[in-house]
């Protein structure tokens, strides 16, 4: 019996969260059990109350605002604890069309994918500003090129479906946004990523995630660059070494060309530049092996984390199934720590 849990990270979304909860389809082919989990990230309004009244099955809270990435990570843990075989993440601002969830999870149910990205048709979003729209397009193109993602993948989309195995594998370290890092981690673990393009809804009100477009581009871009550097350090250093050695070789060839044609007088600088570039290239090559060692070490650590998460949530699964705590009966308030195997509790 397959269980699907739709997780909705929300922060001060009292005006939208109820509609999001109600719009989640409760019958999906291939799914025997459905549940909606709203994760309130320390809201100061009636987000939790609105979600409960709308029929959310589970409501969890942070005692203070922790940010989207942390809330997403904790929501995944909670869904795994509750025995989810498939997890769908959608935003609390009603930006995505929850009625398309059956299409989103279809590749996972069929065993054809581990993660499915519900990409937005950015061209159809009239109220999204020019900078945001083209920023998303450029970022998506770069990531698709670097990681060989399916055509049309919207790397910033939060409308995604995850198999249980994929959710167990994801290790998110960012404190701002999970969107880019989660795809990098997925590719590192050879998870199959599929893409489905859906029309998204225009959201005219200011984003809860970003204070300004410039700030979001800077912070999200920083997360993306640092994640790429961490997960692809060996490739970056290898490319840098190749460019340095190629430049040094070109400088040497230039010097020898002038030696043959005119005696080389006045071109000693090419010899010096070539030598410097070659020495730097060799040093970067040696440094790349350090990067490779770090990558192997990170892989081993992530395998240990995966084993611990699997053991933790597999053992908690029967307890969660037995309790079936409903949000209508209680609301669980978390501290600033991640979801523990004892949750949810009365």
What is residue 339's predicted lDDT score, i.e. its pLDDT? 39
What is residue 338's predicted lDDT score, i.e. its pLDDT? 39
Q: Nearest CA to 180 among 210, 156, 160, 207?
A: 156
198 and 249 belong to one structural domain: no
247 and 197 belong to one structural domain: no
Which CATH number belongs to the domain containing residue 172 in this structure? Answer: 3.90.550.10
Which class for 49: exposed (0-12), middle (13-18), buried (19 or more C-beta within 10 A)? Answer: middle
What is residue 244's predicted lDDT score, i.e. its pLDDT? 94
What is residue 259's predicted lDDT score, i.e. its pLDDT? 82
Which range has the worst mean pLDDT, 88-97, 106-115, 136-145?
136-145
Query: pLDDT: is 13 or 313 the higher one?
Result: 13
157 and 264 belong to one structural domain: no
Query: Which residues face 87 on adjacent strands?
Result: 5, 162
Which range has the worst mean pLDDT, 26-35, 47-56, 154-163, 181-190?
181-190
The 10 Å CB-count burial string (b at 16+, else e) for 174-210 is: bebbbbbbbbbbbbbbebbbbbbbbebeebeeeebbb
| Alpha-carbon distance values, 279 to 241, 249, 284, 290 (Å) | 10, 11, 9, 17
160 and 291 belong to one structural domain: no
Residue 30 lies in a domain: yes
252 and 190 belong to one structural domain: no
276 and 141 belong to one structural domain: no
Residue with tokens 């309004």: 45
SS3 string of 305-342? HHHHHHHHHHHHHHHHHHHCCCCCCCCEEECCCCCCCC
What is residue 156's predicted lDDT score, i.e. its pLDDT? 83
The model's pTM: 0.74
Residue 337 lies in a domain: no
Domain region containing 42: 3-207
Residue 217 lies in a domain: no
Residue 337 has pLDDT above 70, yes or no: no
What is residue 261's predicted lDDT score, i.e. its pLDDT? 81
Residue 212 has pLDDT above 60, yes or no: no
Q: Which of 29-33, 130-134, 202-206, 229-233 is modeled with the greatest confidence?
A: 29-33
The pLDDT confidence band at residue 194, using thresholds 50, 70 and 90, is very high
Asked whether 10 and 92 are in contact (CB, 8 A), the reply is: yes
pLDDT digits (tens, 9 = 90+) for 281-307: 999 999 888 888 888 888 888 888 888
42 and 84 belong to one structural domain: yes
Residue with tokens 């059990």: 33
Q: Classify strands 115-120 and 193-198 as parallel, antiparallel or unpaired.
A: parallel
Q: How many domains does the chain have?
A: 2
What is residue 260's predicted lDDT score, i.e. its pLDDT? 82
């Amino acid at each position: 019996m397959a269980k699907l849990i739709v997780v909705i990270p929300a922060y001060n979304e009292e005006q939208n969260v109820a509609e999001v909860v109600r719009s989640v389809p409760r019958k999906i082919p291939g799914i025997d059990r459905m549940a909606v989990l709203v994760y309130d990230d320390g809201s100061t309004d009636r987000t939790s109350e609105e979600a409960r009244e709308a029929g959310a099955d589970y409501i969890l809270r942070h005692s203070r605002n922790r940010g989207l990435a942390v809330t997403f990570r904790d929501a995944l843990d909670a869904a795994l604890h509750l025995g989810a075989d498939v997890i769908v993440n959608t935003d609390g601002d009603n930006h995505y069309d929850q009625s398309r969830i059956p299409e989103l999870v279809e590749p996972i149910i069929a065993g054809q994918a581990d993660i499915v990205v519900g990409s937005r048709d950015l061209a159809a979003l009239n109220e999204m500003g020019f900078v945001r729209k083209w920023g998303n397009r450029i970022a998506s193109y770069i990531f698709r090129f670097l990681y060989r993602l399916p055509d049309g993948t919207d790397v910033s989309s939060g409308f995604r479906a995850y198999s249980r195995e994929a959710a167990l594998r994801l290790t998110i370290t960012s404190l701002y946004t999970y969107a880019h890092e989660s795809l990098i981690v997925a590719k590192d673990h050879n998870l199959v990523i599929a893409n489905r393009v859906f029309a998204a809804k225009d959201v005219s009100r200011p984003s809860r995630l970003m204070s300004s477009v410039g700030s979001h581009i800077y912070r999200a871009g920083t997360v993306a660059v640092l994640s790429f550097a961490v997960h692809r350090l060996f490739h970056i250093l290898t490319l840098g070494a190749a460019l340095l050695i190629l430049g040094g070789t070109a400088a040497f060839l230039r010097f020898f060309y002038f030696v043959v044609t005119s005696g080389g007088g006045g071109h000693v600088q090419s010899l010096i530049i070539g030598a410097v570039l070659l020495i730097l290239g060799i040093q970067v090559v040696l440094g790349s092996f350090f990067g490779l060692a770090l990558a192997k070490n990170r892989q081993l650590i992530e395998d240990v984390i995966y084993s611990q998460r699997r053991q933790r949530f597999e053992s908690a699964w029967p307890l969660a199934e037995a309790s079936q705590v409903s949000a209508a009966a209680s609301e669980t308030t978390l501290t600033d720590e991640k979801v523990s195997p004892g949750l949810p509790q009365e």
